[in-house]
Amino acid sequence: MITGLLERGNVCAPTLASLSQNFGLAPLIGKQLAIIADARLGGRSDQTAIAERLLSISGEDNITIDRKFLPAWTGKLTARFFLLTNELPRIADASGALASRFILLTLKKSFYGKEDPRLTRKILEELPALLNWSIEGWERLMERGHFVQPASSLEGWEELEDLGSPIRAFVRDRCEMKTGGEVECRLLFGAFQAWHAGQGSRYRGTIQTFGRDLRAAFPEISVMRQRDKDVRLRVYSGVRLQKEKNRRAAVVRGPSRPVQKSSTEKVQNHTLFARKTQRQQEKP
């Protein structure tokens, strides 16, 4: 349907893994939409490179792209990403910025065994009506000035964020962001290692990489030096570990996050739309 509305020449179909490859961005030049069907990432995929390129493209930054047997191309890619997947991809991004660029639609209704082989033809016959429907949605978007994250997708969106930034999940589960709060660096790192092991995997980073990723996710946290008798301690300021009774209460209540309400229906697989950054949304 989307390809029919935009015309085939304006659409490309890369894989998620290809975004990290040397010539992987070349097919996106001059395209309006990049459809990634059945998005998957293997263990050898360069998640950092994928995150960097998705952030650059969605932020409308200039990017230099290598092309086979042609000079490198430099400019802004206009393509928007449309991902379909049965499992949310893990794209490492300690800051959590990448997850905030996506609008997630969670689909739960399966048509297995009830497939309509004529569905594509039926949809294409309705393209004029679908175009009018799309224009109405675009006008609402322009009036509102921003996209709405459906309330029905909150759980999936948190999972997407946690997959990319486990440190954000740890802080939400075990810590309190509080002005004046303090915790020794080694103590917080040890708590994170224990939490990570409880999630089923061992954290292989160092205390330094933990601190770097922590401050990338929460820039308001700073490192201070204190003296305890004859020992100099490094502490994080602006965060503290939850007390046990507060932590149990948080588990009962569950995580809280403000979400704008939407009438979007929940279904089985996940559809992710890369949305524009704030400065793009403010353009006329």
The pLDDT of residue 268 is above 60: no
The continuous run of DSSP H or E covering 11 comes out as strand 11-12
CA-CA distances (angstroms) from residue 132 to 56, 78, 138? 31, 23, 10
The pLDDT of residue 10 is above 50: yes
The encoded tokens of residue 78 equal 């206009």
The pLDDT of residue 271 is above 70: no
CA distance 262 to 241: 34
The model's confidence at residue 273, banded by pLDDT at 50, 70 and 90, is low
What's the pLDDT tens digit per position in 55-91?
Answer: 999 999 999 999 999 999 999 999 999 999 888 888 9
The pLDDT of residue 106 is above 50: yes
The model's confidence at residue 54, banded by pLDDT at 50, 70 and 90, is very high
CA atoms within 13 A on the CB side of 168: 24
Pairing of strands 33-36, 80-85: parallel
281, 145 contact by CB (below 8 A): yes
- Max Cα–Cα distance, the chain, nearest Å: 79
Domain 165-253 matching CATH 1.10.3720.10: the answer reads no
The model's confidence at residue 261, banded by pLDDT at 50, 70 and 90, is very low
57, 79 contact by CB (below 8 A): yes
* pLDDT, greater one: 272 or 156: 156
What's the pLDDT tens digit per position in 220-235?
Answer: 999 998 877 777 889 9
Output the pTM of the full model: 0.74
Q: What does the DSSP 8-state code read for residue 37?
A: T
270, 108 contact by CB (below 8 A): no
The domain locations on the chain are 2-150+262-281, 165-253
Q: Is 143 helix (H, G, I), strand (E, B) or coil?
A: helix
59 bridge partner residues: none
State the chain's mean pLDDT as an integer. 85
The encoded tokens of residue 212 equal 């770097």
What number is the average pLDDT over the span 271-281?
A: 53
CA distance 72 to 23: 10
